[in-house]
Amino acid sequence: MTVGEWLEWAKAEALKRGLPDLIPPLEGLAQATERLRAADWNDDADKATPRDAGEAK
């Protein structure tokens, strides 16, 4: 499930339950999730960090 698919489901569920005020926070959460997933620090998670470089192996 993508973030967009989740958002559509969550918005429909909020409306079904009579909680339309929940939609803006859900949209904000989806936007924040997409930004975090797109962050460049996620690209090379297995690469050594500056902290790792100073540690004995």
- Mean pLDDT for back-to-back runs of 10 residues, the chain (57 residues): 97 98 98 91 67 59
**pLDDT at position 1:** 92
Distance between CA atoms of 27 and 8, rounded to whole angstroms? 9
User: Would you say residue 25 lies in a domain?
Assistant: yes
Count of domains in the chain?
1
**pLDDT at position 42:** 65
Domain that holds residue 17: 3-39
User: Would you say residue 48 lies in a domain?
Assistant: no
User: Would you say residue 20 lies in a domain?
Assistant: yes
Using CA atoms, how far residue 54 sits from 7, 25, 49, in Å, is: 42, 42, 9
User: Would you say residue 54 lies in a domain?
Assistant: no
Distance between CA atoms of 47 and 35, rounded to whole angstroms? 21
Distance between CA atoms of 15 and 26, rounded to whole angstroms? 12
